[in-house]
Amino acid sequence: MMNSSQIALFLTLVFTSCDYNNTPHSEPSTSNETSMNKTTFPINKTDEEWKKQLSAEQFQVLRNKGTERPFTSQWNANWDGGIYVCVGCGNELFSSENKFDAGCGWPSFFDALDSTKIKTETDSTHGMKRTEIMCANCGGHIGHVFDDGPKPTGLRFCVNGVSIDFKNKEK
């Protein structure tokens, strides 16, 4: 049984580590074009095209920068060998070799598969200053990166599980 200090610490970690909320960080686009990207990405689709391809929750996270509830991702407890890819475009983002259990409720990695596969941007929403991670190919919101991860990088890429898919290592 956890005491009140442990409960308070746990709740603080859950609500601040990966921005637990399921609302967009900005007003949804009223045009047909996705308004979330400040940067141009190789894959550009309208909101309607994304909505046809993604589930409602995937669209909310990838295109509106939402966050899935902690401990709900099928990938959080997946320890199979393989590659995690962007669910929006298939871009290879993370290797299972870099995955670790951060205890935050979201899949966590200490490094990206290749630094060119991810773009970062400062996120100052909700009174916090964090570093957002996005797919460099389609601009989809993947999660945030923090400097409290394990060696060798000291980084923790905190990833929304609905923003990724998993490809098993071929046997």
158 is catalytic: yes
**Among 86, 89, 135, 158, the one annotated catalytic:** 158
Measured from the Cβ of residue 154, the count of other Cβ atoms closer than 10 Å reads: 11
Distance CA 109, CA 94 (A): 7
Task: List all residues 6 or more positions away from 100 whose beta carbon is below 8 Å from its beta carbon.
Answer: 108, 109, 110, 149, 150
Q: How is residue 62 written in tokens?
A: 């990838």
Q: Which residues are catalytic?
A: 158
